[in-house]
Structures are given as structure tokens and as C-alpha cells.
């Protein structure tokens, strides 16, 4: 079996996907624009060969890399990146090289365009916020009158929380319109009062969920990026929960097969006409790739398992060889450089000891959403993990 992994060096820890596949006899071939010498040793050791291009966004260069690999190793069976930014590249390569496994361009639209996701959530009987893909100033102004302030605007086809803004009044709307790049299609949505909860996991070729989890965002990622605040979230136990029941319906509606998936929902903070009661779930977005922000590793610690191995076994054997059982709530506390925290690193290590899983420095390219320094923590229940996160993120001027 031959597999091409796009940009295996970013995020750095994605070498884990390549390692698990290669250990199972897969010929793992990497294509990236980073110099070979810049790859960490784990990435180098996990690849049979690495082909460097000058620019991964230059399709002709990547196309030639694929041709080189096929000439040397034979037919390519899979293309992966587990990175939303490269999903369109993956799909086009599958189309051009007739690779049967994975999404093709025609099926990718519903995964990439936030406006098209709404219809599939509806198919799963999951409500979504009212929205408008606006083409000019007046359409956005009319939408504001219809739903009221605040509203959220973001690229209809975009990655993460980039260029996502909460607009609270007409002045902010006019400021946005003044600076809006008209070459980018934007979607406006009514604002939802609530926190984001995810549903993350892996499916087999029939769409059966092999392992899944859910994470509760304690802060708004949009606000974190725009205001430079902390990033905080934790994993909750999913067995018997409504997030698993609703998330499973969405997996089926999106026909998520042989995929790592990452779905996002709002948990309503108060009753919202047309959407539901306080505590209900509302569909937000879908991503057909592994969740970011060290969540695959958080899943590992939650289950005492290895999702990279589970993903590899799914691709090769179409099954999971263990019966995953969630045991821990894993917390993520992302600190921001420049903010003054009450407890220094040594205090955190001494207080939590074995419950502190790791302390990571985040690459600058990911720090806007993830924080500059991350503490991963482990606890038996949600209340305990929430208190641990609050301790790590407590500021010096807190009372």
C-alpha cells in the first residue's frame, strides 16, 4: 500500500500518523515545501521518501511529485494531510490520479463551504443559525435588520477562526465593509449565545464510529484570536451523552466514511427562538480531518489508547483492534505571552504532579488560536479538570 502525506511536517506532531502507517508496512511518501534538513527526526524516520517542492500551493509542482512517486513506487492508494488547508489539493490530486479512497472535488463543497453545511445539518435534524452569503453592502445591512445585533461574519470557505468577526452595531458593520476584500465570499450569521462543543472521532468504510470524544470550549476561539486571550477547553465523557447522539446523526448525514472527523456545535446559553431551549445543541461547522490543538493526543490520554494506530488500522484493515473506553477528562490550558499569570510553571508542576501530562511551546503560526504555551492536564471528572485549568490561567490581578 502506498500513501502520500501532504505537508507531514506541519503541525510537527503529525509525524505520528506517518509512523503508525509505516510500522504497519505502508509505504509513506511525503510532499512538502520545507527543506528536508528542517524536518524533525521523527518525521524523517516515518517517511520512506520525501519530495520537496518550492510551494505546495503550486499545483504543477505537487502534480510532478505525484508522478515521480508513481513512477518509482507504483499506484498511490491514499492521499492524506489531516489539514483543512490542503483538503482541496488532496481532492484534486485524487481526481487527476484516479485515487478511489477519499473525497473528490464534487463532494468536497459541502465540507468546505459553511453555507452548504447548513443543509446537511438540517438533514440530520440539527438546527443552525440563520445566515446570509452577502454579495454587496446592502445585503449585509438588510441581514442585520432581519436578525439584529450582534452578528458574526467570516469567509464562507475558510480555515479556523481566521478573518472571523463579531459585529455589534452599524458602525462596526460599516468599518468591516470598508475593509472587506470583495474577492473573498463572506457569510453572515446571527450570533448564538453559547459555548462551542465538538464531536471528534474516526469512522470506518461503512461510516461506523470506531472511537469518539467531545471537547467543551471554555472561551470563544473567535474572541481568543481577535482579542489575544487565553485558550481553554477540556474533554468530556461522551458515552450516554446528547453530544454523542446528535454527533452520530451528523456523521451519518455527512456520509463520513474512512475519515477522522471534527464537528462543532453551539450549546445554547439561553433560549433562542427558532433554534431551541437553553442547553440544546445547534450545528456550527464540520471538518473532515483530525481536530487540531493537540486534540488527537488528548484523545489518547483520555482513552489510554493511540488514535494514530486506530486511524492506520482503519485504513489498512478497516477495523479497530481494541474496544476503546474513555477514562479521563483531559484539559487544555493555553497561556498567552505578555499576560501576567499568578502561578509560575514550577508551581503548576508541583501542584499537579502526575496530572500534568505535558507543557508545550506552540509554533508561532498556530499561536493565535492555541496560545503560546500549552499545559495538558488529566482528571477523573469535569469539575476537577475545570478547576485545574482555572488555576493555570489565573492572572496576578485576579481576586
The CATH classification number of 2-110 equals: 3.40.50.20
Tell me how long the chain is. 399
Rounded Cα–Cα distance for residues 191 and 180 (Å): 20
Q: What is the pLDDT of residue 320?
A: 97
Is the model's pLDDT at 399 over the cut of 60?
no
pLDDT confidence of residue 161? 55
CATH number of 194-393: 3.30.470.20
**Global pTM?**
0.90
Is residue 107 very low, low, confident or very high in pLDDT (cuts 50, 70, 90)?
A: confident
Cβ atoms < 10 Å from Cβ of 359: 15
Question: How far is 349 from 352, CA to CA, in rounded Å?
Answer: 6
Residues of the chain with pLDDT > 70, as a percent, come to: 96
For the 130-190 domain, the top CATH level (class) is alpha beta
DSSP state of 37: G
Residue spans per domain, the chain: 2-110, 130-190, 194-393
**Element at 61 (helix H, strand E):** helix 59-73
Give the confidence band of 227 by pLDDT, cuts at 50, 70, 90: low
Helix (H) or strand (E) holding 22: helix 15-23
CB atoms within 10 A of CB 190: 21
Q: Average pLDDT of the chain?
A: 93
Average pLDDT score over residue span 184-206: 95
Strand partners, 369: none
Within the chain, what is the greatest distance between any pair of CA atoms? 66
pLDDT for the residue numbered 220 = 63
Amino acid at each position: 500500500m502506498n500513501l502520500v502525506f501532504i505537508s507531514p511536517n506541519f503541525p510537527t506532531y503529525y509525524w505520528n500518523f506517518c509512523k503508525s502507517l509505516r510500522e504497519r508496512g505502508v509505504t509513506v511518501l511525503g510532499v512538502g515545501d520545507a527543506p528536508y534538513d528542517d524536518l524533525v527526526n521523527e518525521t524523517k524516520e516515518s517517511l520512506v521518501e520525501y519530495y520537496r517542492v518550492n510551494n505546495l500551493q503550486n499545483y504543477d509542482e505537487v502534480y510532478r511529485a505525484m508522478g515521480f512517486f508513481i513512477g518509482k513506487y507504483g499506484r498511490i492508494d491514499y492521499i492524506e494531510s489531516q489539514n483543512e488547508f490542503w483538503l482541496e489539493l488532496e481532492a484534486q490530486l485524487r481526481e487527476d490520479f484516479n485515487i478511489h479512497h477519499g473525497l473528490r472535488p464534487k463532494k468536497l463543497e459541502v465540507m468546505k463551504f459553511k453555507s452548504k453545511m447548513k443543509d446537511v445539518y438540517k438533514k440530520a435534524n440539527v438546527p443552525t443559525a440563520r445566515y446570509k452569503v452577502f454579495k454587496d453592502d446592502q445585503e449585509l445591512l438588510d441581514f442585520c435588520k432581519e436578525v439584529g445585533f450582534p452578528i458574526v461574519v467570516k469567509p464562507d470557505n475558510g480555515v479556523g477562526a481566521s478573518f472571523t468577526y463579531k459585529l455589534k452595531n452599524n458602525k462596526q458593520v460599516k468599518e468591516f465593509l470598508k475593509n472587506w476584500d470583495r474577492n473573498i465570499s463572506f457569510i453572515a450569521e446571527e450570533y448564538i449565545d453559547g459555548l462551542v462543543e465538538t464531536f471528534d472521532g474516526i469512522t470506518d468504510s461503512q461510516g461506523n464510529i470506531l472511537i469518539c470524544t467531545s471537547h467543551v470550549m471554555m472561551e470563544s476561539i473567535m474572541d481568543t484570536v481577535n482579542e489575544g486571550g487565553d485558550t481553554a477547553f477540556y474533554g468530556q465523557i461522551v458515552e450516554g451523552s446528547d453530544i454523542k447522539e446528535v454527533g452520530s446523526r451528523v456523521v451519518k448525514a455527512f456520509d463520513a466514511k474512512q475519515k477522522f472527523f471534527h464537528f462543532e456545535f453551539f450549546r445554547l446559553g439561553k433560549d433562542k427562538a427558532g433554534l431551541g431551549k437553553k442547553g440544546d445543541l445547534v450545528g456550527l461547522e464540520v471538518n473532515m480531518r483530525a481536530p487540531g490543538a493537540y486534540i488527537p493526543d488528548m484523545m489518547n490520554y483520555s482513552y489510554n489508547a493511540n488514535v494514530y494506530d486506530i486511524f492506520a488500522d482503519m485504513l489498512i484493515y478497516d477495523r479497530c483492534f481494541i474496544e476503546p473506553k474513555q477514562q479521563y477528562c483531559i484539559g487544555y490550558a493555553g497561556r498567552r505571552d505578555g499576560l501576567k499569570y499568578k502561578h509560575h510553571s514550577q508551581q503548576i508542576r508541583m501542584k499537579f504532579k502526575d496530572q500534568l501530562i505535558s507543557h508545550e511551546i506552540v509554533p508561532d503560526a498556530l499561536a493565535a488560536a492555541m496560545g503560546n504555551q500549552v499545559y495538558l492536564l488529566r482528571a477523573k471528572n469535569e469539575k476537577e479538570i475545570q478547576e485545574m485549568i482555572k488555576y493555570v490561567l489565573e492572572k496576578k490581578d485576579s481576586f
